[in-house]
Amino acid sequence: MALGWQPALVLGVVSLIGAAMFAWPLLLQPPDEFAHTSDAPFVFVLILPMLLAVVLSEVHRGGLDTKALAMLGVLSAIGAVLRPMGAGTAGIELVFFLLVLAGRVYGPGFGFVLGCTTMASSALLTGGVGPWLPFQMLAAGWVGLGAGLLPCHRLRGRAEIALLAAYGAVAAFAYGFVMNLWFWPFTLGAGTQLSYVVGAPLLENLHRFVLFTLATSAWGWDLGRALTNVVAICLLGPAVLVVLRRSVRRASFGAPVTFSPGTASAVPARAVLASALPASSAVAEPVDDGTGASPLGRAPGDRSPPSA
């Protein structure tokens, strides 16, 4: 499921803005005591949901049909069920494993939306809706997006599993890193030696943050998440990839839909069939199922029309 240029552009721009919002502790440059600067993180909490709304709406309009939508719902449900399962034990989060595999099979746009909907459904199921949710959604969306953008589409077998496992490990660390970064000033508060210092040079804050991450989550949650990812992808990956690819095949996304009018019954039926059916496009004129006579028409890009 390829993205059109416009959803891709919107996704790119939103990702850029989102990245800035994640990295605000490093980028914030208050010269003096300007009041509005300290509000930046709170403003971001308000902006990000709307940005997500824009990008999700665009990606949906740009090429997810009903079948993809239903699959999205089902896979989100699986993710939402998997997420609380290992939550008690350090970092055993099985969501990302599914997200990486699904992103790989269904493509970047689907992967991004799946990351978002998985986090949202899980939050709604467990009562975890809050300002952090849009950030989780965006970060998980990136994980799925990245998996879809991985190179070597023809790669199969062990090499593919190795690629996905490596990506899974990186993605797990990256997810932990950006989520920590965004919340770091709040986790620690001011005044400790690893605390965020408003307005300090980027490198100094980065250094403090890296130390903070190393001191806290890197060896527990992030490592646990990365290991879970690698182990799950290596052991369950091959089987799950087969299941996911089978579902793509069964759904026959974008399979050509064609019609040809029946010829008058004077011609013997068999003869009509013989001429009309075996892919002889001279007789079988493709009909775009939304133009013309339809009273309501159909959404643009709802399904890729048969290439006429």
Partner 1 sequence: MITFDHVSVRYPDADHLALVDVELHIDEGELCLVTGRTGVGKSTLLGAMSGLVPHFTGGHLSGRVVVAGRDTASHPPRELADVVGVVGQDPLAGFVTDDVEAELAYGMEQLAVSPAVMRKRVEETLDLLGIAELRSRPLRTLSGGQQQRVAIGAALTAQPRVLVLDEPTSALDPTAAEDVLAAITRLVHDLGITVVVAEHRLERVVQYADVVAEVLADGSVRYGPPAELLRDAAVAPPVVHLGRLMAWEPLPLSVRDARRRATVLRQELADRPQPLRASVRPSGAPLLATRRLSVTHGAVVAVRDVDLALAAGEVTALMGRNGAGKSSLLWALQGSGSRHSGSVSVDGRDPAELPAAEGRRLVGLVPQTPADLLYLESVAAECACADQESGQPTGGCAALLDRLVVGIDHQAHPRDLSEGQKLALVLAVQLTARPQVVLLDEPTRGLDYDAKERLVEVLGELTSQGRSVVVATHDVEFVAAAADRVVVLADGEVVADGPTAEVVVASAAFAPQVAKILHPEPWLTVTEVADVLRSSAERVAP
Partner 2 sequence: MNAFGGSRTALRLPRPLHPGAWWLWALGMATAASRTTNPLLLALLIAVVAQVVAARRTDAPWARGFKAYIILGLVVIAIRVVFRMLLDGQHGTHVLFTLPEIPLPEAAMGIRLGGPVSLEGVLAAFYDGLRLATLLICIGAANVLANPKRLLAAIPPALHEVGVAITVALTMAPQLLESGQRVRRAQRLRGDAPGRVERLRRIVVPVLTDALDRSLLLAAAMDSRGYGRRAQVPTRTRLVVSALVLAGLAGVAVGTYGLLDATTPAALGLPVVAVGLLLAGVGLSVGGRGVRRTRYRPDPWRAPEWGVATTGALVAVALVVIGGINSAGLHPSVQPLEWPTLPPLATLAILVGLLPAVLAPPVRPPTPRRRVAVDSSAASSTSTTGRGARASSGSDAASGDDIARPPVVVEVRT
Q: Of residues 46, 53, 197, 269, which one binds partner 1 by CB under 8 A?
A: 269
Q: Of residues 54, 188, 231, 272, which one binds partner 1 by CB under 8 A?
A: 272
Other CB atoms within a 10 A radius of the CB of residue 263 amount to 14
Other CB atoms within a 10 A radius of the CB of residue 238 amount to 16
Q: Of residues 163, 276, 304, 305, which one binds partner 1 by CB under 8 A?
A: 276
Single-letter amino acid code for the residue at 36: H
The distance of closest approach from Cβ of residue 81 to partner 2 in the complex, given in angstroms and rounded to an integer, is 5
Q: Tell me whether residue 92 or residue 284 sits nearer to partner 2 (CB atom).
A: 92
- How far is residue 137's CA from residue 49's CA, in Å, rounded to a whole number? 9
Classify the C-alpha dihedral 5-16-105-152 as positive or negative. positive
- Long-range contacts (CB closer than 8 Å, 24 or more residues apart) made by 278-284: 284/258, 284/259, 284/260
67 binds partner 2 (CB under 8 A): yes
260 binds partner 1 (CB under 8 A): yes
Give residues 228-257 in contact with partner 1 (rule: CB under 8 A).
239, 242, 246, 252, 255-257
The distance of closest approach from Cβ of residue 258 to partner 1 in the complex, given in angstroms and rounded to an integer, is 5
Stretch that binds partner 2, among 76-84, 156-164, 168-176, 279-287 (CB under 8 A): 76-84
301 binds partner 1 (CB under 8 A): no
* Cα 149–Cα 167–Cα 121 angle in degrees, nearest 5: 75
Query: Residue holding tokens 């079988």?
Result: 284
- How far is residue 11's CA from residue 160's CA, in Å, rounded to a whole number? 26
220 binds partner 2 (CB under 8 A): no
Binding mask 139-178 vs partner 2 (x if CB under 8 A, - otherwise)? ----------------------------------------
- How far is residue 248's CA from residue 252's CA, in Å, rounded to a whole number? 6
Q: State the residues that interact with partner 1 by CB under 8 A.
A: 66-67, 239, 242, 246, 252, 255-263, 265, 269-270, 272-273, 276-277, 284, 287, 289-290, 292-296, 298
